[in-house]
With several copies, the nearest count.
Chain A
Amino acid sequence: MNVKEIIAKRVAKELKDGDVVNLGIGLPTMVANYIPEGMDVTFQSENGFVGLGQAPEEGQEDKDLVNAGGQPVTVVPGAAFFDSSVSFGIIRGGHVDATVLGALQVDEKGNLANWMVPGKMVPGMGGAMDLVVGAKKVIISMTHTQKGKPKILKVCNLPLTAAGQVNMIITEMGVMQVTDKGIVLTELNPEYTVEDVKNATEAVFVVAEDLKEMEI
């Protein structure tokens, strides 16, 4: 299993039967591959539907059915289509149980920066700001560092996507909960030591008394 697979597999364990979940582009999309058989998780696509299914087979693409990245997708039975105001009503209104997104930076207060780097081409926030504010649980899934540089910081220095909304950070090194009292490392990938995590993290974090082995 590569790093991304480890992360995606662990994120999948956070989802519960009946959950409505929005997966960001990239690594988060892989989470769908690890939902256990028989568990009913509904995926929301912010461009206007719930019930996102697999990618279509080649030649079976439907021009009227794409995901938020503009790529052809399918829907499962029981899916529902709606306009963008309903889509974000679902998101902002707290009807999405979990959103899984990547990050450029996260900090001790649960601040998230994942939409712009000053001086670089700014792609736009898309639906990320609404998702992070509206979803019941915000799970950041990302590699622990960017080319060795920590991404989990004391204070984000990039423009924020949202303030104080992150609940959980899942990386290849372990699982962290963002609490009112700061970050707590609750699970550790046995391939790493707590010291490794500390070296890869700028933020100060507490190690949970009952630190567990990361479920992979």
Chain B
Amino acid sequence: MRNKVVTIEEAMHHIKDGMTIMIGGFMAAGTPEKFMDALVKKGVKDLTIIGNDGGWPNKGIGKLVCNKQVKKLIASHVGLNPEVGSQMNSGELETELVPQGTLAERIRAGGNGLGGILTPTGVGTIVEEGKEKITVDGKVYILEKPLKADIALVGASIGDKKGNLYYNKATKNFNPLMATAAELVIAGAEKIVEVGEIDSNDVMTPGLFVDYIVEV
């Protein structure tokens, strides 16, 4: 069996300037925070980040934004990190705002081999601009396209050595979706256990999705 358990340095080695990176979590709950610190330290830049939000100034995705490592942010909400707004205004940061449910479905579509999904969300708003609209059974939908990434950084509560992951409470959010949608998936788990210790019924991300796992 290939060993998936690596150190944080080994894991971060895969992240290069200019990459597109999905980062799990919701307002930093479920975000692999140690990976954020490691990326700040590593100083990779020109990143495209896909995440639910812009985090807080000192927490979650916000750390990367404040350290000016992010070129483009694809998220649903950035209001709790004023630095996002100021970098948007100064033109340093490009943002693509996506309705939260659409963001979840686009990531899921990317990971699940779908060419897109039809959603009623955003019809009649600026969200529909530049997108194809399709009427099904008399109702208008927007065709939203899949999102994929080079790397997904997900935060788990427990992981096993095969990469099976378990997320506690509200830390699940975007993590299981992102774990399906990137070329390389790196999980930060608060605790790593032996294979078989997570009940097969309780696995929330099957290990086949996970390339590397770090105890954080």
Contacts and interface: CB of A to CB of B under 8 A. Distances in A.
A162 B164 contact: no
Contact of A125 (B26, B77, B80, B107): B77
A196 B160 CA distance: 51
Interface string B41-79: 000000000001100100000000000000000011111
A130 B113 CA distance: 10
B112 A64 contact: no
A47 B76 contact: no
In the complex, which of the residues A69, A77, A84 has the most CB atoms of chain B within 10 Å of its own CB atom?
Answer: A84
A64 B123 contact: no
Interface residues of A, number: 59
Interface in B105-136: 105, 107-108, 111-114, 119-127
Interface string B152-181: 000001001010100011111111110011
Contacts of B76: 124-127
B112 to A, nearest CB: 4
B124 A80 contact: no
Given A42-B208, A81-B201, A84-B104, A66 B170 contact: yes
Given A84-B177, A127-B76, A162 B124 contact: yes
Interface stretch (A29-37, A88-96, A180-188, A203-211): A88-96
A76 B2 CA distance: 17
Most buried by B among A62, A77, A92: A92
Given A18-B2, A48-B26, A62-B169, A129 B80 contact: no
A126 B77 contact: yes
Contacts, number: 213
Contacts of B82: 121
B203 A80 contact: yes
- For the complex of A and B, the 4 pairs showing the least CB-CB separation, nearest first, are A123-B79, A163-B124, A88-B101, A70-B27
29 contacts: A42-B208, A46-B100, A49-B169, A49-B170, A64-B30, A64-B170, A64-B171, A65-B170, A66-B170, A70-B27, A70-B56, A83-B173, A84-B177, A85-B108, A85-B177, A87-B101, A89-B180, A91-B101, A121-B85, A122-B78, A123-B77, A126-B53, A126-B100, A129-B125, A130-B100, A133-B113, A133-B122, A162-B123, A162-B125
